[in-house]
Structure formats: structure tokens, C-alpha cells
A and B are shown apart, each in its own frame.
Chain A
Amino acid sequence: MRTSIVVVLAALLALAPSCKKKTTEPTAGSAAVAETGSAMGSAGSAAAPTPPPAPTGPTDPQIAAIVVAANQVDIDAGNLAIKKTKNPEVKKFAELMVTDHTAVNKGAVELVTKLKVTPEETDASKGLVAGGADNRAKLEKLDGAEFDKAYVANEVAYHKAVIGVLTSQLIPSAQNAELKSTLVGVKPAFDAHLEHAEKLQAALEGGGGSAMAGHEM
């Protein structure tokens, strides 16, 4: 169980270095320009404007692929939980995950289609998919309360990881204003999912579902 979370986290954390390698390695030409600029600047002459720093995070097509992969992983885990759990609160949560992440993916796909951005897979997006499959394989072997606890614990860890990457990498790196705005706009939904999952986890560890009453209307 923990291994699959680690795989997902590792894939997400690997995102910045892998993308940095692709986007920041200076070419011979750019290095020469940088050196020239620096020399001119130190001489105090009217130097050409300093070029903006090269982007260090994922590109918009890479962000699109990561977003779609992250949502799909949670949709797949949710569908498994709907099939396996006997706990009504866990089932309700899983149904919400499927509904919300499906809707987010639909919106994301519509946006990148409109923007003519073709999602570009990276080690991070592939790692998310592989980690999700690994996680589901492990969950498949569990039943009853053991399954519920493992599924919900994974949801807590997963949403924490996704929110972290969304905040620290995807939102700051997004170049298209509409894509950035969409990422900012979707974060509250993920925050709410995390809060819901944590309450559910506390209820399950307390041995019952009554603690979830505070989450109900």
C-alpha cells in the first residue's frame, strides 16, 4: 500500500528535475548571450534588456498530461472502491471522487482542446498512471474494513501529494492564463476532498462511521 503511494509521490516529485532538464539546459548560443549580457552589465553600459529566466517547471502540454493522469488515477481507484466496499460512507466518498474527478478531466480536456494544447506525457504522468495501477492491484487483494482503511488512507496521501504539486509546480509553471486560472480554480475541490477523506479516515480508525455525522448536512 505504502509502496504505491511512494511511487506516486516519487513520480510527482521527479517532475521538476525532469522538466528542468528539458527546458533549462542552455544551448551554446544562449550561454553566450548570458555571458555577454553579464559582461555588459558589469561595465555599466546601456546593455540589452536581460532576457526573462527560462521556465523551470513543466510546460503547458506536460501540465495537461499530468492533470489528466492524476484525475484518471483517482477515478479508477474510486470505481474499484464502489465495487468492493460495503461501507456506505466509503461508497459515497468513492462516488464523489468519480463524479468530481471525471468532471475535472472533462473540463481540462475541453480547455486544452480549445487552447490547441496537445498533452505531452512525461515521466511524472507515466509514473502517476503506473503508481495508480500498482495501488489498485494491492487494493484488489484486500476486503472489508481492511480495504476501506487502505483505500481511504491512500486517498488522504494522494490528495495531499496532488495539492502539493498543484501549488508548488503546476500553478506557478502554467504559462497560459486560462490554464493557470483553471488550476487555481480546481484546488478548492481537491482541498475539500482531502478534508472529507481525513474525516472519513478518522471515523474508520475510530471503529465506526458515526464520526462522519459532522460532515453531513
Chain B
Amino acid sequence: MKLGLLLVVAAACGSNKPAPKILHVEIRGMKFEPDALAVSVGDTIEWTNQDLVPHSVTSAAFDSKAIAPHATWSYVARTGGDFAYNCTFHPMMVAAIIVR
């Protein structure tokens, strides 16, 4: 009984910190949508390639390598900062994630 109470209290104390979220970016029509995304440390960003051609999600901090058509790649934001990224196959495709 006491242990149960402790667990409830512990859970309540931990609830101040928002649970990590999963956010989605679509790669469609040679664009990242949205092209700017604000996330929190701990959140997961999932990119899904809806085009028929391969793309990548590449920055100084992360690199998906080739994402095949209809495939998904995800990245967990571990550190804060602004991360501009592009597709190495089609460098005109640019976007950013802002991790706070």
C-alpha cells in the first residue's frame, strides 16, 4: 500500500516535465513540410518520403543517408539548437528544426 502511494507521488512529481512527442515532417514534391519545426529536447522527429525519388535529411548534427520512397527515418533531438538541414541528393531542398 505504502509502495503504491510512493509510486503515485513519484509519478505526480515527474508530470511537470512534458512527455516527449513524436513530430512528423513529410517530404513531398521536393519539399520538406513543414520547412521549419520547433521541438523540445527529447522529442522525436519522423521524416516520411512521399516522393518517388530518394531523399536524405542531412545536417551537421545528423544524417539519414538515403531515405527510399515511402520510407521513414526518425531522429531524437538530444541537444538544443537550430539545425538547418538539406537533402544531399537535391541540395535546393532546405529546412530546419529548432530544438528548445
Contacts and interface: CB of A to CB of B under 8 A. Distances in A.
A and B from one complex:
yes
Interface residues of B, number: 19
Interface in B42-100: 50-54, 58, 69, 86, 88-94
Interface in A29-82: none
B89 A104 contact: no
A182 B86 contact: no
Nearest to B68: A103
Interface string A193-217: 0011000000000000000000111
Nearest to B58: A217
Contact of A189 (B53, B91, B94): B53
B52 A217 contact: no
A186 B52 contact: yes
A182 B52 contact: yes
B29 interface: yes
A191 B51 CA distance: 14
A188 B94 CA distance: 15
A142 interface: no
A104 B53 contact: yes
Given A185-B29, A188-B30, A189-B30, A215 B91 contact: yes
Contacts of A108: 52
B52 A103 contact: yes
A196 B31 CA distance: 15
Contact of A191 (B30, B93, B94): B30
A196 B91 CA distance: 10
Contacts of A195: 92
B54 A103 contact: yes
Interface in A76-125: 96, 99-100, 103-104, 106-108
Interface in A167-182: 182
Contacts of B88: 217
A185 B52 contact: yes
Contacts of A196: 90, 92
Contacts of A104: 52-53
B58 to A, nearest CB: 8
Contacts of A188: 29-31, 51
Contact of A99 (B29, B54, B86): B54
Interface of A: 96, 99-100, 103-104, 106-108, 182, 185-186, 188-189, 191-192, 195-196, 215-217
18 contacts: A99-B89, A103-B52, A103-B54, A104-B53, A107-B52, A107-B69, A182-B52, A185-B28, A185-B29, A188-B29, A188-B31, A189-B30, A189-B51, A189-B90, A192-B30, A192-B92, A215-B92, A216-B91
Please list the 4 inter-chain residue pairs (A to B) with the smallest Cβ-Cβ separation, ordered nearest first. Answer: A107-B52, A188-B30, A188-B29, A100-B53
